[in-house]
């Protein structure tokens, strides 16, 4: 079992930035690919970014490419999402997720591909 706890959300003006963190516990963090997803009110869960077990490979949704950066610190069991140039349409609950794999493949954009989920942290971007 893996427990995931997100933090770092909040209210920010358009054009601003936030850094989300997701701390994992329970199993060897470096055995897991990590992903970030988001869900806005009335919408389906949306893929944001993934990072492979070593941090060498990343993958982003087109909507955030060039603005968001995913990274990880395996020693700390933590994955990060740096979000710059935020837009009102980025408003959502952001959740991290874990998939047990040491593959270099990072193209896991479907929520059903993941084994564990955090509860999420709210990000609100005002115009």
Instruction: For the chain of 127 residues, list the mean pLDDT of each consecutive stretch of 10.
Output: 96 98 93 97 96 96 98 97 98 97 89 96 97
Furthest-apart CA atoms within the chain: distance in Å: 41
Q: Got the DSSP string for 3-38?
A: EEEEE--EEEETT--EEEEEEEESS-GGGEEEEEEE
> What pLDDT does residue 86 have?
98
> What pLDDT does residue 88 have?
97
């Amino acid at each position: 079992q893996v427990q995931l706890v997100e933090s770092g959300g909040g209210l920010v003006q358009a054009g601003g930035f936030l850094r989300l963190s997701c701390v994992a516990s329970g199993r060897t963090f470096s055995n897991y690919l990590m992903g970030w997803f988001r869900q806005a009110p009335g919408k389906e869960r949306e893929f944001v970014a993934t990072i492979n077990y070593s941090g060498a490979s990343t993958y982003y949704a087109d909507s955030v490419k060039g603005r968001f950066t995913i990274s990880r610190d395996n020693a700390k069991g933590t994955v990060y999402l740096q979000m710059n140039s935020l837009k009102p349409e980025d408003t959502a609950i952001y959740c991290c997720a874990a998939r047990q794999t040491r593959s270099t493949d990072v193209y896991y954009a479907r929520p059903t591909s993941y084994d564990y989920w955090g509860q999420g942290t709210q990000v609100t971007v005002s115009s």
